[in-house]
Structure 1
Amino acid sequence: MPQIAQLAEFASSQIFWTLIFFGITFFLIGRGMVPKVMETVELRDKQIADDLAAAQGARDAADEQEDAWRVRENENRAAAQSLIADAKIKAATKTETKLAKSQERLDAQLAEAEARIEAARIDAMTEVESVAAEATQDILARLAGAKVDKRTARSAVKKALANG
């Protein structure tokens, strides 16, 4: 069979060209393209690592700024509370002062009113004594037919009012 006889010759030629093709392919791809791809992958990995480090740095800076903001906010809140407390104290002091002045004015008005009432009571008592003395004179004159002077009638009315 002639086909089998050509097989060795044909196979060696096929093996030779296959080795040449794979050799060229190995050198072009394996030695030329693969290092470039690996370099790109390494560059990409480095870029990702740098980006992650930058993001972590930004996060740390943001956390520091947030902490500083919280400290300032707490200080401002404490200052505001202090201002509110001072305002309350000032308002309470002003209120106490106004109340004291109002109380003094009311006490003065009360004392004045009590003095007027006392004067009116004294005037009323004097008037009552005067009316009672006259009534006593009239009663004695009608019942007993005796006349009593005003001075005696007044002293008797004063004694009766003092005892009664």
Structure 2
Amino acid sequence: MPQISQFAESWYAASQIFWVLLTFGFVFFVIGRGMLPKIEATVDARDRKVADDLAAAKAAHAAADSLEESYRQQSDASRAAAQQAVTDAKDKAAKDAEKRLAKVDAELAGKLAAAEADVKAARTSAMAEIESVAAEAASDLVAKLSGVKVAAADAKAAVKAVLHG
């Protein structure tokens, strides 16, 4: 190769090799030994930080899931307690209404029995008066029509037989 042979023939090749080696050595020690470990340490620290942040995020996610589950359980328990309270209130209201209705029914039954007794008494009284009025009227009619005087007891018996019989 002509470039290499030409390179070897030139008088300043040794100084160029020296400076190339010196430059590469300087670059190797400054960058390779000085800067690269710092860069690698920074990259490692960043990787650790990212890994730690991911682990913290996973832990926070797990804690959030746990908290959400406990919230759901509390919500379900509260909902069940509210439903139970509503059911209990409905049952109590139904029982109270039933008691009041039974009390009102008893009062009405008493009033109805009293009213029926009053009606029966009034009816009996009215029937007795009707019988006596009818007996008097029959006795008067028979006396006016036939001129025969009918005994009050016979007139009452005849009226009673017709009305009840």
Q: What are the Cα deviations for residues 75-130 of structure 1, in whole angstroms up to 9, with x where unaligned?
A: 22222222222222222221111111100000000001101111111111112112
1:86 is matched with 88
RMSD: 2.0
Residue number among 112, 128, 144 corresponding to 2:130 in the alignment: 128
1:45 is matched with 47
- How many equivalent pairs are there? 160
Structure 1 segments of 4 or more deviating over 4 A? none
Residue number among 153, 156, 159 corresponding to 1:157 in the alignment: 159
2:10 is matched with 8
The separation in 2 between residues aligned to 1:97 and 1:77, in whole angstroms, is 30
Residue number among 55, 58, 66 corresponding to 1:56 in the alignment: 58
The separation in 1 between residues aligned to 2:57 and 2:106, in whole angstroms, is 72
Q: Identity of counterpart residues, as a percentage?
A: 51
Residue number among 27, 30, 36 corresponding to 1:34 in the alignment: 36
1:145 is matched with 147
3-state SS, counterpart of residue 148 of structure 2: coil
Q: Which of 85-94 and 37-46 deviates more?
A: 85-94
Where does structure 1 lack aligned partners over 5 or more consecutive residues? Answer: none
Instruction: Calculate the TM-score normalised by the size of structure 2.
Output: 0.88
The separation in 1 between residues aligned to 2:56 and 2:39, in whole angstroms, is 25
The separation in 2 between residues aligned to 1:139 and 1:11, in whole angstroms, is 177
The separation in 2 between residues aligned to 1:40 and 1:9, in whole angstroms, is 46
2:102 is matched with 100
